Structure formats: C-alpha cells, structure tokens
Amino acid sequence: MADKARALTKRQIETLKQKLIEEKNSLVFSDQVNASNIELSKPEGSDEVEQSITDYTNSHLLRFRNREVFYAKKIEKALKKFEMDEFGMCSDCGDWIRFERLMARPTAEMCIQCKEESERDESNSFTGRQSKSLGKVLDLTGMMA
C-alpha cells in the first residue's frame, strides 16, 4: 500500500505557484504566433516547393502554438485552484498529490496512483481514448478492420 501524501506546506505552495507563473511567462509562441505571422495566400511567383515549405512551416507554427495555448489553459486552471485552496488535491480520489510530482508537473490534476490507473484503463480501451495534446476524445472503433 502506498504512503498517503501530506498536505502541502505554505512554502511548498509558494514554490509551486512561482513555478507555474514562471512557466506561464516562459511560453514562447503564445504572443509571437498569430494570424499575421502565418502566410495563407500563395505569393506571386512562388513555385510548388516554396509553397510546400510555407505550408510546412505554418503547420508547425500552428501546432506549437496550439500546444502552448492548451498548456497555458492548464496553467491558468492550476493557478485558479490556489485561489480556491484546492491546489494539490487529486481530482480523482481527493488525496493530496505529492510535492515531488507537482514539482515535476505542476499542472498535474491526479496523484500518481490515479494517473497510472487512468493510463492503464486508457491503454486497455480502444474507445474513448483522449488525445494528450488536444484533450479530445478519439473514437478508434471505426479505424479497426
């Protein structure tokens, strides 16, 4: 049986809050990539190779930006939990998440035991898988032959 985690100390809470704020401030693409940075129209005189390079670059810029937007939302959600005195509580079992786990992943919403169980359940199921980066439920039943 695993040891139960203790409630976070005030010092640990301040450390984690500061870590989240620093991570939020360090996001690279959140302000830099917007519609003006992405070239959607085909420039005059460009050939297929140039257009392919532009499309590839735009695709990656959007992908990185989308990941950061998703992560920024997770950071905001975690910061709001500080205001409600709910930060560090597992959303599944209600126990405290260990400080070490939160230092490694300050946006964690589940304790390691619940997260591992969730991932085992997810890996054993073809339906209802959730995209790690987009948070969308994927239906893989139609993909089976």
CATH of the domain at 101: 1.20.120.910
Q: Residue 29 in contact with residue 118, Cβ under 8 Å?
A: no
Q: Which pLDDT belongs to residue 66?
A: 87
**Which of residues 5 and 17 earns the better pLDDT score?**
17
Cα separations in angstroms, 105 against 39, 72, 99: 35, 13, 10
- With the C-alpha atoms ordered 78, 82, 88, 94, is the resulting torsion angle positive or negative? negative
Phi, psi of 6 (to 5 degrees): -90, 160
Q: Residue 58 in contact with residue 6, Cβ under 8 Å?
A: no
Least trusted range by pLDDT, from 6-10, 11-15, 104-108: 6-10
* Residue numbers of the domain that contains 91: 10-110
Residue 12 reports pLDDT greater than 60: yes
Domain annotation covers residue 74: yes
Residue 106 reports pLDDT greater than 80: yes
Domain annotation covers residue 59: yes
What is the overall mean pLDDT for the chain? Answer: 81
Domain annotation covers residue 122: no
Domain annotation covers residue 128: no
Domain annotation covers residue 57: yes
Alpha helices (H) in the chain, listed in sequence order? 10-25, 29-32, 48-83, 99-104, 112-123
Domain annotation covers residue 124: no
Q: Which DSSP state fits 41?
A: S
Number of domains in the chain: 1
Domain annotation covers residue 3: no
Report which of 51, 48, 69 is spatially closest to residue 59, judged by C-alpha positions: 51
Phi, psi of 7 (to 5 degrees): -60, 150
